[in-house]
Structure 1
Amino acid sequence: MPSINIGISEDNRKKIADGLSHLLADSFTLYLITHNFHWNVTGPHFNSLHTMFMAQYTEQWNALDVIAERIRSLGFPAPGSYTEYAQLSSIKEVTNVPNANQMVQILVEAQEATARTARNLFDIVNDANDQPTADLLTQRLDVHEKTAWMLRSLLA
């Protein structure tokens, strides 16, 4: 494969790709949890939560491609297996079916964890003068922080 010369050193591209791999793993885990909750939510707020979770997992699904393609643009393979995601993600897998309020709380925590993972990349991204990744991170932070706020509001 031809060498990559986009104005970011290979070392910095590797560090950014590694950070984005963690973000991809958190994002995939969040997607999977949200979709699971969409399928399994019950109770008096079933319809509104079912619909809300669908909008959230759909947005999350679309973000996966953007993150993975940025990793590829930097010249590295994107992780794509459950094993890799389990190793890279900061979000714990949900193996039971919690009640609706617990689902919302779990999703608040997962949205916030994903935001922290994105935010932790800014130092290296800024040092590397990597505006496309900074833009991606800013967009993801906006989504995760707003979604966490909306979910938190359900628990008030």
Structure 2
Amino acid sequence: MKVKIELAKQEDKNILIKLIEENDSLFFPPISKRLELPKYVDKIFEHGFPYVAKINNEIAGFCFFYANDIISKRSFLSLILVKEKYRKSDLKIGILLMKNWFKIAKGIGINRLELEVAKKKITLINWYKSLGFYEKKSICRDGFGALILTKHV
């Protein structure tokens, strides 16, 4: 199977919303408790970079990021998600999506990447660290502990 990373298309929006809804409980707190999903996805399409990973035209995962902080040359990962059936596969979809973010950001002059992750998501924090991220600061968001991780590219 070949994984193709590409900019999401308008016709992908409803599939992306459905994937977020189906996996909402993975996020802490759940995304649906913080955002109106259709408006969120519209905002990403309008102001951010929505990339999808496709296998035989099926969306296997996606990555949403912003790269519009030209003054501080910073890009922020808004959301990354890989379908459950592909998470532990040898296809490494999450890594491909992250490397795409690194490449796009660097290509437009960004030199610092940031993301936020719940403190209780230890496995995910370690995965981000394996990709070169390090802890920048600890914050409290919506009453829950979170970390801001950063990486220079």
Superposition TM-score, scaled by structure 2 size = 0.31
Higher Rg of the two aligned structures: 1
Structure number with the higher helix fraction is: 1
Higher relative contact order (CA 8 A, sep 6+): 1
More strand by proportion, 1 or 2? 2
